[in-house]
Amino acid sequence: MVYLTRIEHFNAAHKLYNPDWSHEKNESVFGKCANENWHGHNYELVVTIKGNPDPSTGFIFDVKKLSVLIQKHIIEKLDHKNLNLDVDFMKNKMCSTENLAIAIWSELEPHLPINAQLHCIKLIETSRIYVEYFGE
Amino acid sequence: MNQKVAVYRKEHFNAAHRLHNNNWSNEKNISIFGKCNNPHYHGHNYELIVKVVGVPDSETGYVIDTKILSDIIKTQIINKFDHKNLNLDTIEFKQLNPTAENIAVTIYNLLRPHIDLNKEITITLYETERNFVQYPA
C-alpha cells in the first residue's frame, strides 16, 4: 500500500454565522469570524489517496489525472468564491474548515478509480490552523 | 555604532475583498479583473512585513523596540483589516480598489506618522505565497 498526495490551493471568502441564532450569540460564539461582510483565506488543500501501484505504469493513479479531478470538482467551485453563497455543496451548512473538508471528501470520492481509495482530506485554513478528515 | 540596520516585523490578517472599478461596466470589470471581480467577494491570508531602517540607539541598542512596532502595526493596521471585508468595512478602500499594490501603499501611509522620520520604512505584502508587492519600490 502506497500513499500519494497532491496539493492544490484556492482563495475564498466566508463567515461563520448560524442563521438560527441572534447576532449577539453569533458574535459570542464565532467572534470576529462572524463578521457579516465576510472575511477570507488562502486555503491549501492536501488530498491523499492510497493503493497498490499498477504493475504496468508504476502508478496508484496518474497524479496529473488526480490534479484534473480536484481542479474540476473542487477548485473550480471554490476558488475566488464566497463559500457561504456561491458553493452548491456548502448550501445550508456551516462553513467551518471541518465541514468543508467533509464536503470535499464527499464531492471527490465518487470520481476516484476503484483501485485508488481516498485516504485523507487535509485542509489548511491558515499557516497555524488545519483539519484532517479520514472519512470516518 | 552609527551603521544603519534593518529591523523587520511580520504580522498577518485575513480579509475578504473584490477588485472592481465603479466607473466601468460589469463586462469590462470581468474582462480586466476576472475571477477577482466575483460580486460575492473572495479572500486571502495576507502576510505583512514591515521593514524599519535606522541607526541603533546608543542607549538601548534598538533601531525600534519590536514590541512597540508590533503594537503600532496591530493598532493601525491589523485591528482595521483583520477578519474584515476591505471593500465594505474599511474607510480606506471605500473608493480605492483593494489591490495588493493599493493595500501596501495604504499601509505605508497609515504607519508613517507613527514611526520616527529618521527611520525609513518599507512595506512588503504577501497576498498569496506567490503574489507579493513592495512599497516604496
**Distance (Å) from the alpha carbon of A71 to chain B's nearest alpha carbon:** 15
Q: What is the mean pLDDT of residues A71-87?
A: 98
Cβ-nearest to A38 among B12, B36, B43: B43
**B79 reaches A (C-beta below 8 A):** no
Q: B83 — contact with chain A (CB < 8 Å)?
A: yes
Each residue's pLDDT expressed in tens, for chain B with a length of 137 residues:
689 999 999 999 999 999 999 999 999 999 999 999 999 999 999 999 999 999 999 999 999 999 999 999 999 999 999 999 999 999 999 999 999 999 999 999 999 999 999 999 999 999 999 999 999 99
pLDDT in the model for residue A102: 98
Rounded to whole angstroms, how far apart are CA atoms A8 and A63? 12
Beta strand pairing call for B5-17 and A2-14: unpaired
The CA radius of gyration of chain A, in Å to the nearest whole number, is 17
CB-based contact, B85 to chain A, within 8 Å: yes
Residue B2 is predicted with a pLDDT of: 83
pLDDT of B1? 63
Omega before B136 within 30 of 0, i.e. cis: yes
Grid cell digits, residue A33: 469570524
Where does residue B30 fall: left (phi above 0), alpha (psi -120 to 50 degrees), or beta otherwise? alpha
pTM of the model: 0.89
Residue A127: list chain B partners with CB under 8 A.
Answer: 12, 45
Residue B16: its chain A contacts at CB < 8 A? 13, 37-40, 82
Using CB atoms, which residue from A9, A12, A35 is nearest to B83?
A35
> Which stretches of B1-137 are DSSP H helices?
26-33, 66-73, 79-81, 86-89, 100-111
Chain B environment of A9 (Cβ under 8 Å): 128
